[in-house]
Amino acid sequence: MLGAEAGKQRLTKIVPTVMVALLLFIGLVAVLERGPPAVLVYSGASPYNTGSLGTSKLYGIVSDRYENTFVVGDWGRFLSSPIECEGAVVVIISPEYPYTSSEAQAIGDFLARCSSPGIVVADESGNSNAVLSAIGVGVGIEGGSRILDPDTLLPYPEALFSSQWFSGEVVLDIPASLSLGFSGYDVVGVVPRGVIVYNGSGNAVSRSDIPIAVTGSVGDIRFLIVGDGSIFLNQAFDSGAWRLIAGFIDDVCSDRECMVIFDGSKFEALDPLSYLDNPELADPTAILTPTFLASLITRLVHPATWLPPAVAWVNDYVSHILNVDQAVIVIATIISALILGSIIMSRSPVSVRDTRIEDVVERDPIALESLMRSIVKREFKADKSDFRRFYDMLNQLFSSVVGVGLNDPRLKDIFVSRGVEGEKAERFISRMNKLYRRSMRRIGLPLIVNWSKELVKLSQEAIDIFEALGAKRI
């Protein structure tokens, strides 16, 4: 009798332990299936690169002045929907890859739609020439040329800038000469004495007052073109040349609502472990930045990074100790893979990892209503990524219900015509779009946003609007 009771007690202790172990195993499989978080490090003159070769300092200065400053990583996606544009300036600095004709034409068409457009190109490679050509600027970057110092014959000549925005001497870093095709420009930067050499030809031409920076306009589009993007990098920030770009933007933009777009589409976004695998691709100074260290630590501590090699090492060690026949190892490996695969497939009948949230909402729009009810009840804490998902869901749903999205200027009139109070509609649309732009920026004002509080307020307003539109359920 006592033995039976003792057995029951042991069973009572064992069962919870087994269940906890099983749940931990399933959770670990789920973590491995999702993979490590995508915390990337950017190369070159990307605004996201906080190393010496990045342009994060220039981006920070401009975004402090203009709250509608952001980075575009994919022009096709950015321009896929109509964008209301008053003042806008596109900033392109040392792109690592050339633009396609379709990308260049899309950028030119976008600027042509703006009331007060401008473009800054600081490039020594010639990769941006397609954009300049699409806009109709008669100035190009001679990527196959280099301007040398006449005394040392090194590609670090001194340039003299003289403009209303910035004046002074700056040492250039492997600059290219400009090809000037028409007279509608003003020269604001020259190399007083230099030697221009052309790759592959062996020709060298000594010249004085070589234009290195010009400004002007073609139609309504104002432009600033510099034959060296290196003087705007973080490592050269103390030279003050960044004032040339900042001043140009101030001249084009009439207010703080002006849209300033830094191009980030032509820079590599690499996993930090890839930098370690191929150090030649890395900016050495980026390894000392908090961004790189944070992304590297995030990758290293994730089970998807260390668990597979650990399992392989244990497997090799056990096989060596037991001297198991290779055929048995292969069979055991196949069986293990089948078991692991069946667990993953049972948990994910549809690939959740690759499904966009827009597709989820399209399949189950009621999920948005449930989400908004949960937000109003303050059932979870939100961050800016949650707000972006919330915005995308609402944007698609409004497009389905009334035919236009949140960034369409016609949405307010449609709301009013369907019974929504005009002031409420304008406040809701303006707040949603302003916070969405803020969520897309890494640095901006206000510095601190209570995303949970904003989502609670906007969710309640969205529910009221849908009820006014006559939707019993979303």
**DSSP line for 284-338:** GGGGGSHHHHHHHHHHHHSHHHHHHHHHHHHHHHHHHHHT--HHHHHHHHHHHHH
Report how far residue 222's alpha carbon sits from residue 253's, in angstroms, rounded to the nearest whole number.
11
pLDDT of residue 156: 94
Say whether 428 sits in a helix, a strand or coil. Answer: helix
- CATH 2.40.50 for domain 56-269: no
pLDDT of residue 150: 92
Residue 80: count other Cβ atoms within 10 Å of its Cβ: 10
pLDDT of residue 303: 58
Q: What is the pLDDT of residues 18-29, one digit of tens each?
A: 556 655 655 555
pLDDT of residue 224: 97
Report how far residue 395's alpha carbon sits from residue 380's, in angstroms, rounded to the nearest whole number.
22
Structure tokens at 335: 């069986």
pLDDT of residue 294: 54
Report how far residue 221's alpha carbon sits from residue 229's, in angstroms, rounded to the nearest whole number.
21
pLDDT below 50 — which residues of the chain? 1-2, 31-33, 347-364, 472-474
pLDDT of residue 350: 38
Residue 291: count other Cβ atoms within 10 Å of its Cβ: 20
Contact 138, 242 (CB under 8 A): no
Domain borders along the chain are 2-34+302-347, 56-269, 357-468
- β-partners of residue 190 are 160, 211
DSSP calls for 16-76? HHHHHHHHHHHHHHHHHHH-S----EE-TT-TT--STTS-HHHHHHHHHH-TTEEEES-HH
Sign of the dihedral through C-alpha 209, 215, 217, 218: positive
Q: How far out from the chain centre does Cα 150 lie?
A: 41
Q: How far out from the chain centre does Cα 466 lie?
A: 32
